[in-house]
Amino acid sequence: MATIGAKVSEIARGIHQIFLPLPMRPSIVNVYLVDCSGDWALIDTGTNGQESLSALEGALGQLGITFDRLGAIIMTHHHIDHCGASAELQRLSGARLYIHALELDRITRTIAFAGSAGPTAQAREFFLRHGFPVDRYGAQALRPTWLDPRLYQPSVRPDHLMADGDIIPVGKRRFEVIWTPGHAPGHCVLYLSEEKVMIVGDHLLPKITPHVGLYPGSVANPLGDFIASLEKVQQFDVALVAPAHGGVFHDHRHRARQLIEHHRYREAEMLDLIRKRPMNAYEVAQQIFGSQERPTFHILAATFETLAHLEYARLEGRARAYERAGQVVYQCS
Amino acid sequence: MVEKTIELIGVSANSIEDAVQLAISRAAVTLNGIHTAQIANVAATVENSRVVNWRVTVRLTFIVKEQLHE
Ligand SMILES: [Zn+2]
């Protein structure tokens, strides 16, 4: 494997941020290699693409180690850029694999979706009920182009299923698991209390607002979970935040509050629309995110992020929903 | 002390007040300490002889605080 182009930066003593290429936007995912004195830990894996695996191998080379030094691979959640290469890395390294129990089911579903010809009958019905005109866009267009089964090869046999509050010992370090559902139902951040470093996956990104959507098979209130997880991480004492996209930053509480404010604003915008007249999630999304030409997958994501907002508002009594001609419409009075 | 002013247009389907509040809520995502909203202009978008949106131009004023960098 070619090992050129690996980018490594030591963000805290023995904690290295590795930039791995992605076939989409954002175009880079950061994974973290942590020297635990003896054993090493890898947080997130990148995709299973050749370019990404070579970059990771190059990074290990720069640090003077090989795959077999990895003792643990811990994944923050099931998405392609976070666990796409876990089967291959498990094979190459023999490391113990950790992921939250709720992400295993999402892995199975994502593998099935990546290899399918289109949405299931159940998913189609769900889309139509929320006003998303699935037939106008075509089944193939619903799948993002980067969800390539070759790039998504996660292991379906992790060694440990993580739960909130678990401590994962690796060498001399102790990774505390903090369950932060929202972006994914079993999303976890990893906290090193002695070092005051928090490796946050996609929970707290410095520039981007993480996508939180309500899809077929989702939990009832993913956005409510996300907001609660943003409150939760503020209880920890953190000096350095290590995100999966973008640079490291310091003030995790400031960023968490900002994301909460952003969602409050978005909800206010949506409630303003459905105060005037009842609308389904697709109609609201067209107004909020715009109806310009863009990849179908983005329109889908906007619709189901909007649905997450509308359901959050409904469950908290700020909006109500009812059936109209086979569709669910939301109203705020 | 120095204060700063930014100009935004809040758009509401319902009312002028709602349009002002939306502009303030959006600004508050990135700004702290907004204390005044001055209404600079009010316009309505009209379609088929009906008001569909209130567009309110607001000047928001906030205090510029010194940032502590640890
Ligand atoms: Zn993700």
Model confidence band, residue A23 (pLDDT cutoffs 50, 70, 90): confident
Answer whether residue A183 shows pLDDT above 70: yes
Q: Is A109 helix (H, G, I), strand (E, B) or coil?
A: helix
**pLDDT for position A48:** 96
Of all residues in chain A, what percent carry a pLDDT higher than 70?
98
**For the ranges A27-31, A88-92, A117-121, which has the lowest average pLDDT?**
A117-121
User: What global pTM score does this model have?
Assistant: 0.92
**Closest of A18, A15, A33, A30 to residue A69, by C-alpha:** A33
**Containing H/E element for A270?**
helix A252-276
Q: Tell me how close the Cα of A265 comes to any Cα of chain B, in angstroms.
A: 5
- Across chain B, mean pLDDT equals 92
Q: Residues 6 or more apart from A10 whose CB is under 8 A from it? A: A16, A17
- The arithmetic mean of pLDDT across residues A286-301, rounded, is 87
Q: How far, in Å, CA of A289 to CA of A161, rounded?
A: 37
Q: Residues 6 or more apart from A108 whose CB is under 8 A from it? A: A156
| Closest by Cβ to A261, choosing from B14, B28, B70 | B28
A208 reaches B (C-beta below 8 A): no
Q: In a mutagenesis test of the A interface, which of B17, B25, B31, B50 is the best target, namely the one with the most A β-carbons within 10 Å?
A: B25
B47 CB neighbours in chain A (<8 A) are none
- How far the first Cα of chain A sits from its last, in Å, is 61
State the virtual CA torsion across B29, B30, B32, B38 in degrees, nearest 10: -80
Tokens representing A252 are: 């995790």
- Across chain A, mean pLDDT equals 94
Nearest residue on chain B to A207, judged by CA atoms? B30
Residue ranges and CATH numbers for the domains of chain A are: 7-271 (3.60.15.10)
Q: Tell me how close the Cα of B54 comes to any Cα of chain A, in angstroms.
A: 11
Question: Contact A200/A242 with Cβ under 8 angstroms?
Answer: yes
| Closest by Cβ to A273, choosing from B13, B28, B30 | B13
> What does the pLDDT look like over A104-149, one tens digit per residue?
999 998 998 888 888 888 999 999 999 999 888 877 777 777 788 8
Q: Tell me how close the Cα of B2 comes to any Cα of chain A, in angstroms.
A: 23
Amino acid found at A98: Y
Answer whether residue A4 shows pLDDT above 60: no
> What does the pLDDT look like over A229-269, one tens digit per residue?
999 999 999 999 999 999 999 999 999 999 999 999 999 99
Which of A114 and B58 is assigned the larger pLDDT? Answer: B58
Answer whether residue A284 shows pLDDT above 80: yes
Answer whether residue A154 shows pLDDT above 70: yes
**pLDDT for position B70:** 43
Cβ contact B30–A258 (<8 Å): yes
B70 CB neighbours in chain A (<8 A) are 250
Q: How far, in Å, CA of B14 to CA of A277, rounded?
A: 10
Distance of CA A78 from the midpoint of ligand 1 (Å): 7
Model confidence band, residue B69 (pLDDT cutoffs 50, 70, 90): low
> What does the pLDDT look like over A196-215, one tens digit per residue?
999 999 999 999 999 999 99
- Using the structure block, give the residue that is written with the tokens 């993002």: A144
- Mark residue A167 as left, alpha or beta (left: phi above 0; alpha: psi -120 to 50; beta: remaining): beta
Q: How far, in Å, CA of A56 to CA of A47, rounded?
A: 10
Nearest residue on chain A to B25, judged by CA atoms? A265
Answer whether residue A11 shows pLDDT above 50: yes
* Interface A:B, Cβ pairs < 8 A: 28
B45 reaches A (C-beta below 8 A): no
Give the max Cα distance, chain A.
64
Cβ contact A269–B70 (<8 Å): no
Q: How far, in Å, CA of A55 to CA of A75, rounded?
A: 18
Question: Contact A240/A197 with Cβ under 8 angstroms?
Answer: yes
> What does the pLDDT look like over A47-83, one tens digit per residue?
999 999 999 999 999 999 999 999 999 999 999 999 9
- Mark residue A262 as left, alpha or beta (left: phi above 0; alpha: psi -120 to 50; beta: remaining): alpha
In eight-state DSSP terms, residue A234 is T
Cβ contact B14–A262 (<8 Å): no
- How far the first Cα of chain B sits from its last, in Å, is 22
Model confidence band, residue B68 (pLDDT cutoffs 50, 70, 90): low
Cβ contact A268–B22 (<8 Å): yes
In eight-state DSSP terms, residue A123 is H
Model confidence band, residue A6 (pLDDT cutoffs 50, 70, 90): low
Cis peptide before A119 (omega within 30 of 0): no
Beta strands in chain A (DSSP E): 7-12, 15-21, 28-35, 40-43, 70-74, 96-100, 160-162, 167-170, 173-179, 188-192, 197-201, 240-243, 320-324, 327-331
Nearest residue on chain B to A274, judged by CA atoms? B13
Beta strands in chain B (DSSP E): 3-12, 34-47, 50-63
Answer whether residue A5 shows pLDDT above 70: no
Residue B48 to residues A134, A271, B45, B51: CA-CA distances in angstroms? 30, 24, 10, 8
**pLDDT for position B2:** 86
Answer whether residue A1 shows pLDDT above 60: no
A264 CB neighbours in chain B (<8 A) are 25
Answer whether residue B56 shows pLDDT above 90: yes
**pLDDT for position A297:** 86
- Using the structure block, give the residue that is written with the tokens 């008001």: B51
B70 reaches A (C-beta below 8 A): yes
**For the ranges A289-303, B29-43, B45-59, which has the lowest average pLDDT?**
A289-303
Residue ranges and CATH numbers for the domains of chain B are: 3-63 (3.30.1660.10)
Amino acid found at A100: H
CA B55, distance to chain mean position in Å, is: 10
Nearest residue on chain A to B14, judged by CA atoms? A276
Q: Tell me how close the Cα of A277 comes to any Cα of chain B, in angstroms.
A: 9
B29 reaches A (C-beta below 8 A): yes
Cβ contact B14–A268 (<8 Å): no
**pLDDT for position A115:** 83
